Amino acid sequence: MAALRPDIRLIATDVDGTLLNHRQELTSGVEYAVKQAAALGVPLVFATGKARGPWIHDVLPRLDLDTPGVFLQGLVVYDGQGAVLHEQRLPDEVATDCIRLAKELDVTLVAYCGERILCAATDAHTERFNFYREPPPEPVGDLGAILGRVPVHKMIFMAEQARIDEIRPGVESLLGGRASLTTALSGMLEVLPLGASKGAGLRWLLDHLGVDPAHVMALGDGENDVEMLAMVGLGVAMGNAAPKAKASADVVLEETNDQDGVARAIEEYVVGPRVEAAAHTAP
């Protein structure tokens, strides 16, 4: 790890499986490292597939963050106060096909609509969102009835992972050339606007802030982090990362999200180099 020492001026981090441990907790070690970096002039931004749900009201105050962030796999970028700076929506015809296919396959489908999660009916799969402290899923009956009335940013097919693996080729065939697919968590297959990704959303934010991606460290663990890890100056995969994330990263940590991997990376690539530089320039 010591061989890579880029000039990091901003940190972009995934949340589930990266910033938070497997119990959805922000550890004191990660909190301390993030604050150390901020004190040295290196702010942190979220780059997550999550909505701005209940979880953010716990995490933001502890980190003293008022920075913008990338949410919903890059589909919505908010400023530090929660106002929308940029967004992409799923075309209605793609959403219609997802709704029809979910019925045919008898799998759960949810629609992320800004800071709301809508579904036909709640079930064991939609209950998973409560653990991740996402917005509580709202049963609306026919999801098709919301199209044209409620902006849909992305949709997620939900089932056991074996079933997701089974249906993914068919979903790819149906939506090929019209939408992009990714996976953040086991048992969930996400449908995004064509070409959308967390990396694309982060690139928009960096352009908005005037930050060169070469000076950004991104941290992640999932397939949905691949584009982000590849486009920055230093992509760091957690020890618990999926194979695709590890393959796209510049560095793969030994530490997992349960071992304060984010803190390890911040200490190695942000705090350490800046403390050393200050020592060398001191009179």
Domain co-membership, 204 together with 263: yes
Domain co-membership, 17 together with 107: no
With a cut of 50, say whether residue 2 has pLDDT above it: no
Cβ distance 97 to 90 under 8 Å? no
Local structure of 88: helix, strand or coil:
coil
Count of domains for the chain: 2
In a domain, 2, yes or no: no
Domain boundaries, position 134: 92-193
In a domain, 5, yes or no: no
Using the 3D structure, point to which of 141, 172, 193 is the last residue of a domain: 193
Q: What is the DSSP letter of 214?
A: G
* Tens digits of residue pLDDT in 231-280: 999 999 999 999 999 999 999 999 999 999 999 999 999 999 998 887 77
* Tens digits of residue pLDDT in 169-189: 999 999 999 999 999 999 999
Short-list 204, 225, 234, CA closest to 50: 225
Q: Retrieve residue 254's tokens.
A: 């030994």
Cβ distance 122 to 40 under 8 Å? no
Domain co-membership, 112 together with 181: yes
In a domain, 67, yes or no: yes
Domain co-membership, 102 together with 180: yes
- Give the CATH number for residue 74: 3.40.50.1000
Q: What is the residue whose two structure tokens read 């510049």?
A: 250
In a domain, 186, yes or no: yes
Q: Cα separation of 224 and 86, whole Å?
A: 19
Q: Retrieve residue 132's tokens.
A: 């991740």
In a domain, 1, yes or no: no
Domain co-membership, 25 together with 106: no
Using the 3D structure, point to which of 193, 225, 253 is the last residue of a domain: 193
Domain co-membership, 65 together with 80: yes
With a cut of 60, say whether residue 211 has pLDDT above it: yes
Q: Can you say whether residue 272 is alpha, beta or left, with left for phi > 0 and alpha for psi between -120 and 50 degrees?
A: alpha
**Average pLDDT value over all residues in the chain:** 95
pLDDT band at 4 (very low <50, low <70, confident <90, very high): low
Domain co-membership, 114 together with 168: yes
pTM of the model: 0.94
Instruction: Give the pLDDT of residue 282.
Output: 58
- Give the CATH number for residue 163: 3.30.1240.10
Instruction: Give the pLDDT of residue 3.
Output: 47
Domain co-membership, 70 together with 210: yes
Instruction: List the Cα angle 163/165/170 in 5-degree steps.
Output: 95
Domain co-membership, 44 together with 166: no
Short-list 96, 103, 31, 62, CA closest to 266: 31
With a cut of 60, say whether residue 1 has pLDDT above it: no
Domain co-membership, 105 together with 181: yes
Mean pLDDT of 148-174: 97
Cβ distance 20 to 240 under 8 Å? no
Instruction: Give the pLDDT of residue 276.
Output: 84
Using the 3D structure, point to which of 178, 193, 208 is the last residue of a domain: 193
Q: Retrieve residue 88's tokens.
A: 């992409």
Q: Cα separation of 274 and 244, whole Å?
A: 31
